[in-house]
Copies of this chain bind each other. A is one copy, B any other.
Amino acid sequence: MANVKSEPAPRPSPAELLAILEDHGYRPTNQRRDVVSLLESKEVGFTVEELTEELIEVGRATVYRTVKLLLDAGVLCKVTLADGTPKYIVARREHHHHTVCVRCDTVGEFRSSTVERVLRTIGADIPGTIVGHRMEIFLICESCSDTINYFR
């Protein structure tokens, strides 16, 4: 218990996301507005392809460009599933890690001060200057284990 926070934290609103882009010097165009608005409905991790399908009015390249801007701004995270395919999620926290369900690919977010502390400790034993880390926990989520799957 404690030390692990996996409760959903408040997510930035579309307006806030747009403001973040403006802070980085990018214009709040209609296309960018459309992309960040759509993000509001994305809860579990999505692909860029999904975005482009729902945003027929925005060119694929623009969607990718906007996703990249948001990635650079730190408001989106790219998560690599166990099989290597990429998904994106809207970040709720500054620094965090991801959980990925190996059955349904749902991506979650958690942070643990214990992990951070341990990593700092470990750092002392690893040659070089540590500048960051990444961690994913693979699991079978509750709704997947609740579902008795007769076909597996």
Contact = CB atoms under 8 A, between A and B. Distances in A.
What copy number does this chain have within its complex?
Answer: 2
B138 A133 contact: yes
Contacts of A78: 84
A134 B138 contact: yes
Contact of A138 (B1, B3, B131): B131
Interface residues of A, number: 43
A118 to B, nearest CB: 5
Interface in A70-127: 78, 80, 82, 84, 86, 99, 101-102, 110, 112, 114-115, 118-119, 121-127
Interface of A: 1-4, 6, 78, 80, 82, 84, 86, 99, 101-102, 110, 112, 114-115, 118-119, 121-142, 144-145
